[in-house]
């Protein structure tokens, strides 16, 4: 089975390529325009797995490049990670986000259709739930209003894929809604290494740990949560990657399938900082700062549907971080 991984040199895509290979899918084709990653990730995947993925440096909006990739390979399924993901940046550059994420996905789907490849796994996000007024997110709740243009692109792509399925019910489409991915492959060769100052909590903590940044600003300590700081469902990236393998394997009949990929637990910002300190035996300087606009106090996944239908669950689900 030949699988095209768009955005495959990125954080989640590279871990997914490794897990696909570990599960016997040796024919992996990666396309990435390298706007947020490096092609040396291909070497690193090879170092970890012993298999070299075929790599195309290409943009998903480039129809000619897509033609080349699909005509040179007999692609059976696409796992679609390519996209821009910085929430704050999307507020400042909305058109770039709609063009890259939405327009890019349209081009990709057109190429898939042209070459008769009708199986796609899409990287969606918990952000599509908007602010539903409850903390535990269940798939049946449906989409709300995402708080940023980035989130809107995810919701629009989900809608677009639903419309496509209604019009052409021979597609097999999985919408995987990620909660908060963290961590890295145990080899230490691949991981999250965003360009510039990170927006997300874990890469920020990492940069403080290595002395690149001075301290973590903890955005708010007056939420109605266990210690006043925001709570999230942090999921290990290798668990997340395995969710994609399961989606490919289990979803073999045409349909549109939606799953939360999270642990079902929530941890506060201070718990994460303390766990990081304990495990790595380092001190993380932090200060309490005002709430970040648009942040919710607490949310986490109800992951039971993925467990029931995909036989997938996060392995760190019932463990305390760092113990
Ligand atoms: P990432 O930036 O590490 O990976 C995305 C990859 O896509 C990068 O390598 C980038 O160079 C590539 N890319 C971007 N635009 C492209 C284009 N037009 N053509 C080709 N390649 C392009 O991000 P990630 O954390 O691995 O996220 C992967 C996907 O998962 C994204 O769609 C993201 O929105 C989604 N997601 C991520 C998170 C998260 O917290 N990391 C949460 C929910 C959803
Ligand atoms: C953010 C995005 C969301 C995206 C998700 C995963 C927003 C509003 N939402 O979610 O759309 O799907 O990333 O990429 O940006 N925190 C600090 N200090 C920091 C950074 C974060 O205290 O320097 C806190 C936040 O207030 C939050 C928690 O840490 O309580 C996690 O934040 P973050 O990693 O940015 O993820 P989300 O806000 O959950």
Per-residue pLDDT of the chain (323 residues; tens, 9 = 90+): 999 999 999 999 999 999 999 999 999 999 999 999 999 999 999 999 999 999 999 999 999 999 999 999 999 999 999 999 988 899 999 999 999 999 999 999 999 999 999 999 999 999 999 999 999 999 999 999 998 999 999 999 999 999 999 999 999 999 999 999 999 999 999 999 777 888 899 999 999 999 999 999 999 999 999 999 999 999 999 999 999 999 999 889 999 999 999 999 999 999 999 999 999 999 999 999 999 988 999 999 999 999 999 999 999 654 444 33
Closest atom of ligand 2 to 85 CA is 14
Can you read off the two tokens belonging to residue 154?
Answer: 């995810």
Closest atom of ligand 1 to 14 CA is 26
Q: Show the ligand 1 pocket: residues with CB < 6 angstroms.
A: 7, 9-13, 32-37, 59-61, 81-85, 100, 104, 123, 125, 178, 181
- Cβ burial of 144 (10 Å; 0-12, 13-18, 19+) is middle
Q: How many angstroms separate the alpha carbon of residue 162 from the centre of ligand 2?
A: 28
Closest protein CA for atom 14 of ligand 1: 83
Per-residue pLDDT reduced to its tens digit, 226-248: 999 999 999 999 999 999 999 99
Cα gap 18→59, rounded to integer Å: 22
Q: Where are the beta strands (DSSP E) in 179-285?
A: 180-182, 216-219, 231-232, 234-236, 255-261, 267-268
For residue 199, which of 127, 128, 109 has the smallest C-alpha distance?
A: 127
Can you give the pLDDT at residue 316?
A: 64
Ligand showing the shortest atom-to-Cα distance for residue 153 = 1
User: What does the angle CA 109 – CA 148 – CA 196 come to, to the nearest 5 degrees?
Assistant: 90
Tell me the sheet residues that pair with 228: none
150 is annotated as an active-site residue? yes
Whether this model's pTM surpasses 0.85? yes
Catalytic position from the list 129, 150, 204, 259:
150
Cα gap 141→305, rounded to integer Å: 13
Q: How many angstroms separate the alpha carbon of residue 175 from the centre of ligand 1?
A: 15
Does any ligand 2 atom lie closer than 6 A to the CB of residue 204?
Answer: yes
């Amino acid at each position: 089975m030949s699988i095209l991984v768009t955005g495959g040199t990125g954080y989640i895509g590279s871990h997914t390529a490794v897990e696909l290979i570990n599960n016997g899918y040796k024919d992996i084709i990666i396309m990435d325009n390298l706007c947020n990653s490096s092609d040396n990730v291909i070497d690193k995947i090879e170092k970890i797995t012993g298999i070299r993925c075929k790599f195309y440096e290409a943009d998903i909006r480039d129809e000619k490049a897509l033609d080349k990739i699909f005509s040179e390979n007999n692609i059976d399924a696409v796992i679609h990670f390519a996209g821009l993901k910085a929430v704050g940046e999307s507020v400042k550059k909305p058109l770039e986000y709609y063009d890259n994420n939405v327009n890019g996905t349209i081009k990709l789907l057109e190429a898939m259709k042209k070459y008769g490849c009708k199986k796609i796994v899409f990287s969606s996000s918990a952000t599509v739930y908007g602010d539903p007024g409850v903390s535990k997110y269940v798939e049946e709740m449906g989409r709300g209003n995402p708080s940023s243009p980035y989130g809107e692109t995810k919701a629009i792509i989900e809608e677009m894929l639903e419309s496509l399925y209604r019009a052409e019910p021979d597609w097999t489409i999985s919408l995987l809604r990620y909660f908060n991915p963290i961590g890295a492959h145990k080899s230490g060769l691949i991981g999250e290494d965003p360009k510039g100052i990170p927006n997300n909590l874990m890469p920020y903590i990492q940069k403080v740990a290595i002395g690149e940044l001075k301290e973590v600003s903890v955005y708010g300590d007056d939420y109605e949560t266990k210690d006043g700081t925001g709570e999230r469902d942090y999921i290990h990236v290798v668990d997340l990657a395995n969710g994609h393998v399961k989606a490919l394997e289990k979803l073999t009949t045409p349909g549109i399938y939606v799953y939360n990929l999270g642990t079902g637990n929530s941890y506060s910002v201070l718990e994460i900082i303390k766990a990081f300190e304990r495990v790595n035996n380092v001190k993380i300087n932090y200060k309490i700062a005002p709430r970040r606009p648009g942040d919710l106090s607490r949310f986490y996944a109800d992951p039971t549907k993925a467990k029931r239908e995909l036989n997938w669950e996060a392995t760190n689900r019932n463990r305390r971080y760092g113990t």
